[in-house]
Chain A
Amino acid sequence: MNSTAQRLLPLMALGLLLALAVQLGAVSIQAVDWLRPPWGDEAATGSSYVLWQLRLPRLLLAASVGAALGLAGALSQALFRNPMADPGLLGVTSGAAAAVALTLTVFASAQFALPPAWRIWLLPAVGFVGALGVCFALNRLARWLAPGSIAALLLSGLAIQALTFAVVGLCSYLANDEQLRAISFWTLGSLAGANWTMAVVMGVVLAAMAALGLRLAPRLNALALGEAAAAHVGVDVQRLRGLAIAAVALLSALAVAWCGSIGFIGLMAPHLARQLVGADQRDVLPSSMLAGALLLVLADTLARTLAVPAEIPVGIFSALIGAPWFLFLLRGALRRMGTV
C-alpha cells in the first residue's frame, strides 16, 4: 500500500492536469506568452495577459483551495472520528456564509469604514469567525447529543445549516440588487475572481496548516482509539481538538471567503486518499490535499471550458459529483455498522 509509485502518481496527475488546464480556455496560449511575464519590460499582449493575470492565478488558487478543502475535510474526519464528516455537510462552510452574508448586507456600511486595501481581508476574517463559531458549537452539540454517533453529528450539522440558511435568506431578502448578486455568487461558488494576492495568501496559509496537520498526525491517529484511550496514551485531547478545530475553521473560511462555498471536496478527497494510501493520518493528510487539488482543478477547468465563453459556477459541479458520492459513502457506512 505504500510503494513510492503510488505516492507519486497523484502528484504527477496533478502536474499533468495543471499543464493541460492552462492551455484550455476561450483564448489560446502560445509558447511565447510564457516568456512575457507581467514584470518583464515588454507590455503584456492579450494572450500573455490572459495567461499571467487570469489563468495562472486562477489555477493556483483552484489547486490551493482544493487542497485546503481536502485538508479541512481530513482534519474534521479525524477530529470527529467519522469518515462522513465534512466542513460543508457539518455546516461550518454555511456558518462562514451566514457571517459573510450579514457583512455584505446588514453591516454593508462597515466595509466603507475600512481603507480599500483592507477590504479583501474583511470577508475571510468574518468567515473565519462564523466557521469557528459553528465548529465549537458542533463540537459541544455532538458530544452532548450522542458521542461517537454519525447520525447525531450529521443531524446537528443539518440543524446548524438550517439556521445559517435562514440568516442567508434574511440577508437576501434585505439586500439590494448588487448585494443580492454578491450573495448568489457566494452561495454558488466560483473561482472567477482569482488574483495573485489570493493565490499567494491561500498557498501560504495552506503550507502553514499542512505543517501543523503533519505535526498533529500521530496524535490524530491516537484519537481514532477514542478520546479516553487517546488520553491514556498521553495525548492532551483538549489541546489537540482545539488546534484541529482552529485549523479546520481557518482553512474552510479562507477557502470559501474568496470563492464562495464549494461543497463535497472535503468529503471526497479524504475518501479517495484512504482508498489509495490506507488510514494512517500521516499519509491521509498530504494525500487528501493532493486529491482535493486534483478534484477542484478538474471541476474548475470543466466549469470554465464546457460553455465557452460563458462560465458555470464551479460549486454546481462539485455538488453534482459530490451528492451521489455522499449517498454511496453513507451506504457503505450503514452496511459496515448495521446502523448509525
Chain B
Amino acid sequence: MSSALLNLHGATLKLGPLRLGPFDLRLQAGERVAILGPSGAGKSSLLKLIAGEHPMAAGSISLDGQPLPQWRPAALAQRRAVLPQTSGVAFGLPVELVVSLGRVAREGDPQQRAIVREALILARADHLAARRFDSLSGGEQARVQLARVFAQLWDIRQGLLLVDEPLAALDPGLALELMDAMQRFATERGHALLAVLHDLNMALNHFERLWMVADGRIFADCDAVPAALPLLEQLYGVRLRLLRDAEGLAVLPSPRPLQRAAA
C-alpha cells in the first residue's frame, strides 16, 4: 500500500551501542497517531528518526512516496513541520519574528503577516506578539513554538505535523485548549498529526491510533479505543480502570501492579 502519507520500511536507528527498530509503520493522510511508552523506550528517538534529525542505519522512510533524503529542504518544510520537545531561541528575537520563521522557506510571501497573526491567535499567544521570546515563561514559549509550526503548515493540505510532548509545560485547562486547537488545525487541512505523549487521557480522547513503543521496538500498533486498554496495561505494567461519560473517557491507574511488557 504505497498510498500512505508516511511509510517506514525497516527503519533502524543506531545511537552509540543502542539499536532502535527496525520500524515498519504507515501513516495515512489526515490520521492522528499518538506515540506512547514508558520513559526511555525510544518514543522521542522514533519521532526524531522520522524528523530526519537522527541518521538512519538501515531501512527507508518515505513521505508521499518519495524517500526523505530526496526531498529538497524548502519543499519538505512545506509538507512537514516539527515541534521539538524543548527549544531555546538565541538573541531574544521578538515573538512575531519567531513565528514568521515558520515560513522562512517561502520567500516574498505576501500573506505572511496575516498568517502569523492567525497562528498566534490559534495557539492562544496573540497577547505575546510584541514580547521578546527569551522573556517568556516555559508555557508561553511552548505556545509561541506551536504558533510557529501552525504558521508553517497554515495554507497547505495533507501535510504532516510531528510534535514531541507539546503540552508538558502547560496547566490542564490550557493543555486541553491547545490539544483542541491542534486537532482542529490538522482536521481542517487534512494534516496527519503524530505526537509523542505522556498523558494517556489526551491520547485516548484525541487520537485515532496508538503506536506503543517498548525497549526500542513497536510493541503494538492499534486503534485508540477500545482495543488499547489491555495493551496499555501491559505497556506500562499497571492495571487501568476505564471511566466513560458522554463527553469522553478517562483511564485511572489502580494500585495493583502487573508484569511489565517484555518486547
Contact B84 A229 (CB under 8 A): yes
Contact A231 B101 (CB under 8 A): no
Contact B93 A221 (CB under 8 A): yes
Which residues of B are found within 8 Å of A231, using beta-carbon distances?
52-53, 73
Contact B90 A82 (CB under 8 A): yes
Which residues of B are found within 8 Å of A229, using beta-carbon distances?
82, 84, 87
Smallest Cβ-Cβ distance to A83: which chain B residue: B91
- The interface size bin for chain B is 20 to 34
Q: Does B35 contact A (CB under 8 A)?
A: no
Evaluate whether A225 and B98 lie within 8 angstroms (CB atoms) in the complex, with A83-B91, A233-B104, A235-B105 already known. yes
Q: Does B49 contact A (CB under 8 A)?
A: no
**B4 shortest CB reach to chain A, Å:** 21
Contact A234 B93 (CB under 8 A): no
Interface digits, B79-104 against A, CB 8 Å rule (1 contact, 0 not)? 01110100111111110011001111
Interface of A is mostly: loop
Q: Does B202 contact A (CB under 8 A)?
A: no
Which B residues form the contact surface with A (CB < 8 A)?
A: 51-53, 73-78, 80-82, 84, 87-94, 97-98, 101-105, 107, 132, 134, 148, 152
**A293 shortest CB reach to chain B, Å:** 22
* Residue among A81, A278, A279, A280 with max Cβ neighbours from chain B (10 Å): A279
* Residue among A82, A226, A228, A234 with max Cβ neighbours from chain B (10 Å): A234
CA distance A81 to B148 in the complex (A): 19
Not counting A218-B104, A222-B104, a sample of 7 additional A-B residue pairs whose C-beta atoms are within 8 angstroms of each other reads A226-B87, A228-B51, A229-B82, A229-B84, A232-B77, A233-B81, A280-B94
Smallest Cβ-Cβ distance to A274: which chain B residue: B91
Ordered by A's residue number, 9 sampled pairs between the chains whose C-beta atoms are within 8 Å are A222-B101, A225-B89, A225-B101, A228-B53, A231-B52, A232-B51, A234-B73, A234-B75, A280-B93
Contact B94 A233 (CB under 8 A): no
Which residues of B are found within 8 Å of A235, using beta-carbon distances?
73, 104-105
Smallest Cβ-Cβ distance to A279: which chain B residue: B91
Which residues of A are found within 8 Å of B105, using beta-carbon distances?
233-235
**A296 shortest CB reach to chain B, Å:** 24
Interface digits, A228-260 against B, CB 8 Å rule (1 contact, 0 not)? 110111111000000000000000000000000
Q: Does A55 contact B (CB under 8 A)?
A: no
Q: Does A188 contact B (CB under 8 A)?
A: no
CA distance A114 to B101 in the complex (A): 49
CA distance A27 to B214 in the complex (A): 82
Q: Does A224 contact B (CB under 8 A)?
A: yes
Count of interface residues, chain A, beta-carbon cutoff 8 Å: 24
CA distance A81 to B52 in the complex (A): 22
Contact B89 A224 (CB under 8 A): yes
Which residues of A are found within 8 Å of B102, using beta-carbon distances?
233
Q: Does A219 contact B (CB under 8 A)?
A: yes
Which residues of A are found within 8 Å of B107, using beta-carbon distances?
218
Smallest Cβ-Cβ distance to A224: which chain B residue: B90
> Which chain A residues (264-306) contact chain B, with CB distance < 8 Å?
274, 278-280
Contact B93 A233 (CB under 8 A): no
**B71 shortest CB reach to chain A, Å:** 10
**A77 shortest CB reach to chain B, Å:** 8
Which residues of B are found within 8 Å of A81, using beta-carbon distances?
90-91
CA distance A172 to B78 in the complex (A): 56
Which residues of B are found within 8 Å of A226, using beta-carbon distances?
84, 87-89
Which residues of B are found within 8 Å of A225, using beta-carbon distances?
87, 89, 98, 101
CA distance A336 to B81 in the complex (A): 30
Which residues of B are found within 8 Å of A274, using beta-carbon distances?
91
> Which chain A residues (50-104) contact chain B, with CB distance < 8 Å?
77, 81-83
CA distance A84 to B75 in the complex (A): 34
Evaluate whether A224 and B77 lie within 8 angstroms (CB atoms) in the complex, with A233-B105, A233-B152, A234-B104 already known. no
